[in-house]
């Protein structure tokens, strides 16, 4: 897998990265998450499982890894793997996120799995926690789920602290979520400190069902921001695990396209993202070694414009997509 520049940040990434949202905690909203973990939730078992998936990702050529403070012990597992493998910070690019605090207490079911707080106090606390675990491996630090409603992009003290971290050598990014992803990103692109952009990267949801952020991501790419695509498989909805009756016609079409390319639905979904000229890295949300093997097949698919047009027929409205996502069960 050939590394490529990550916008104008000076960092390098591989076209496919590994996100650790499904590997660092017992509960997550991906379809079939319990099956992926085989209901083995002890910390030692989950760390060994995460290391096995990280090993497979490394062997496949993946060199971008993405964690967050709220992903349970994702940063812990990633740090212990990097040290165990004697991987140099120069060999990988590592991103993490601040703004959510993990509150599930290592349980699959919890009243609240994570609590959002975009204040300066949380930023400083979680920056220290991430740096304590990841040290010089940490390259990219992102606001976790910045939205217009959270007001984080209007907090002068937070923006000044992010600019300080930028000046200390971290690339500063943000992740966006919800039907107003594009508006949030456009607002973030205007934020400057010392006449320099604060944000050098963005991570957004863009997949075969939710494409509304595309124009904003194109603009961000042209402005020199690094672009990461998350939730490429729509939390499992773009896999054979999606047995929703109303989705079956779309699934049949995806299966037909995958058969034409002699591959799998997930590989087709990832290949469609990689075809977008503004994408730097798409995250695999792999929770098993087999997922890694299937996901990286996307690199070998030269998807046609005609196929992309056909796939465009399954796009949902942003409102419908995010409403469905909000109803996915933690498992």
Q: 240: pLDDT confidence band, cut at 50, 70 and 90?
A: very high
Would you state the pLDDT for residue 258? Answer: 97
User: pLDDT of 3-28, one tens digit each?
Assistant: 999 999 999 999 999 999 999 999 89
Q: What single DSSP character describes residue 33? A: H
Distance CA 205, CA 228 (A): 9
Q: Are 94 and 78 in contact (CB under 8 A)?
A: yes
**Residue 58's domain is classified under what CATH number?**
3.20.20.100
Would you state the pLDDT for residue 104? Answer: 84
Would you state the pLDDT for residue 245? Answer: 93
Distance CA 222, CA 225 (A): 7
Would you state the pLDDT for residue 109? Answer: 82
Is residue 194 in some structural domain?
yes
Portion of the chain with pLDDT greater than 70, in percent? 100
Residue 113 has pLDDT above 90, yes or no: no
Would you state the pLDDT for residue 9? Answer: 97
Would you state the pLDDT for residue 330? Answer: 87
Distances (CA, A) of 138 to 94, 125, 222: 5, 16, 25
- 206 CB neighbour count, 10 Å cutoff: 25
Is residue 7 in some structural domain?
no
Would you state the pLDDT for residue 27? Answer: 86
Mean pLDDT to the nearest integer, 65-82: 98
Q: Which of 40-44, 132-136, 298-302 has the lowest mean pLDDT?
A: 40-44
User: pLDDT of 302-323, one tens digit each?
Assistant: 999 999 999 999 999 999 999 9
Write out the DSSP string of 212-245.
TTHHHHHHHHHTT-EEEEE-TTGGGTTSTT---G
User: pLDDT of 93-109, one tens digit each?
Assistant: 999 999 999 998 888 88
Is residue 137 in some structural domain?
yes
Is residue 5 in some structural domain?
no
Q: 111: pLDDT confidence band, cut at 50, 70 and 90?
A: confident
Mean pLDDT to the nearest integer, 252-267: 97
Q: Which domain holds residue 101?
A: 14-326
Is residue 88 in some structural domain?
yes
Average pLDDT, the chain: 96
User: pLDDT of 162-202, one tens digit each?
Assistant: 999 999 999 999 999 999 999 999 999 999 999 999 999 99
Is residue 4 in some structural domain?
no
Write out the DSSP string of 242-293.
---GGGHHHHHHHHHHHHHTTS-HHHHHHHHHHTSTT-SEEEE---SHHHHH
Is residue 2 in some structural domain?
no
Is residue 9 in some structural domain?
no
Count of domains forming the chain: 1
């Amino acid at each position: 897998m050939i590394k490529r520049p990550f916008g104008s940040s000076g960092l390098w990434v591989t076209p496919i990265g590994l996100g650790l949202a499904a590997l660092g905690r017992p509960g997550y909203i991906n379809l079939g998450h319990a099956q992926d973990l085989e209901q083995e939730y002890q910390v030692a078992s989950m760390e060994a499982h995460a290391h096995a998936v990280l090993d497979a990702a490394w062997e496949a050529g993946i060199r971008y890894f993405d964690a967050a403070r709220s992903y349970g012990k994702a940063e812990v597992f990633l740090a212990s793997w990097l040290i165990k493998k004697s991987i140099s910070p120069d060999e990988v690019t590592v991103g993490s996120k601040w703004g959510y605090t993990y509150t599930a207490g290592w349980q699959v079911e919890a009243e609240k799995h994570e609590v959002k707080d975009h204040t300066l106090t949380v930023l400083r606390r979680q920056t220290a926690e991430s740096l304590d675990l990841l040290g010089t491996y940490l390259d990219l630090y992102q606001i976790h789920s910045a939205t217009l409603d959270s007001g984080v992009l209007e907090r002068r003290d937070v923006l000044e602290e992010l600019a300080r971290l930028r000046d200390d050598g971290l690339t500063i990014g943000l992740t966006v979520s919800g039907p107003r992803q594009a508006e949030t990103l456009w607002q973030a692109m205007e934020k400057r400190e010392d006449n320099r952009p604060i944000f050098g990267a963005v991570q957004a949801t863009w997949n075969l069902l939710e494409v509304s952020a595309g124009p904003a991501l194109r603009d961000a790419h042209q402005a020199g921001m690094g672009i990461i695509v998350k939730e490429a498989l729509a939390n499992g909805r773009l896999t054979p695990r999606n047995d929703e009756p109303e989705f079956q016609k779309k699934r049949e079409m995806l299966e037909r396209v995958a058969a034409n390319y002699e591959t799998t639905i997930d590989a087709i979904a990832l290949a469609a993202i990689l075809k977008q000229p503004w994408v730097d890295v798409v995250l695999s949300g792999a929770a098993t070694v087999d997922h890694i093997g299937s996901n990286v097949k996307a690199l070998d698919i030269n998807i046609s414009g005609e196929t992309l047009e056909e796939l465009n027929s399954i796009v949902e409205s942003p409102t419908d997509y995010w409403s469905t996502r909000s109803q996915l069960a933690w498992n």
